[in-house]
Structure 1
């Protein structure tokens, strides 16, 4: 049997070595392969590009929120690690200053008589505060910087108190604000 098979192959060798498919067939096959290589993901993205864009934006927003909340928590931990007593003072003054800022914000903007720059300076975390906090991080043992930061808080409270007193003298205090202000006094 093997001899017959070998003789058959030798007799019909020319038929086995035929020219093969035409170049047109190969071109069509390559075209089909490249389309299949793009895959279902690319085809789905073509159809659902808006959904993919929304998902990408949501993922970027989630990453940014995660980064910034972690960064803010890290900064607060740094200050508490530098000086726990200063962290206590910061919490105390921050709550008082924010309460007074809410009282001031209860007044209509045209009655306040403050421009945008003055309102920005009234905020707790203005440029002066940021500079003091930066210096404290650079020189954690410096008592003068700690004292300056506490003095900054005290001056901010005094300024807000004076603004509130003047507003109370000049304008009628809004109903809910008047009660809060009287309780605070």
Structure 2
């Protein structure tokens, strides 16, 4: 095999050796090099056009994101203006619900018998509340959503009242142990 290969190379040696590009190619290259020089920025853009396009798209997205977040904030602030009755009801129910939650938190966890998921549902601003609040912001004039928001507050307050009643029936309220023992004596 090596003899055949060497023989092939010897026979076709002239075909392997080329003279190089013709003088016409060299003269065209010289004219191109001595021609007008482009600016550095333009030559860099020609080489890295894809990177420049990506940067332009990222800047456009950042500008659009900034624009939309800037113009969305006034819409959220207008909720107090568009639904003052809901805001007023929210302040009232929130204060009552927070009072009830403080009373429930005074009991030890063993007396409550609630797992972490149930504790999370007792919180005022749970997933249901957030969904209702989002819908109310999107449709502040919708009476069904307003009624649902008030009903949410009422149901949360009723649930907390029932939990407190059961806790009071089964256990002595914290801070009242002294009064309870004095009444028994």
Unaligned runs of 5+ in 1: 1-72, 180-185
User: Which residue does 2:143 correspond to in 1?
Assistant: 143
Q: Tell me by how many angstroms 1:77 deviates.
A: 3.5
Q: Tell me by how many angstroms 1:170 deviates.
A: 0.5
Query: Is 1:95 matched with 2:61?
Result: no
More helix by share: 1
Residues 58-101 of structure 1, C-alpha deviation per residue, up to 9 Å, x if partnerless? Answer: xxxxxxxxxxxxxxx97973431221111100000000000000
**Could you tell me the TM-score, scaled by structure 2's length?**
0.54
RMSD: 2.5
Q: Tell me by how many angstroms 1:105 deviates.
A: 0.1
Q: Tell me by how many angstroms 1:176 deviates.
A: 6.1
Aligned length: 107
User: Which residue does 1:19 correspond to in 2?
Assistant: none
**Structure 1 residues 77, 158: closer, same or farther in 2, change over 3 A?**
same
Preserved CA contact (<8 Å) 1:94 1:124: yes
Query: Is 1:81 matched with 2:81?
Result: yes
Preserved CA contact (<8 Å) 2:132 2:148: yes
**Structure 1 residues 109, 78: closer, same or farther in 2, change over 3 A?**
farther
Q: Give me the whole-angstrom Cα distance separating, in 2, the residues matched to 1:178 and 1:128.
A: 40
Q: Give me the whole-angstrom Cα distance separating, in 2, the residues matched to 1:136 and 1:164.
A: 30
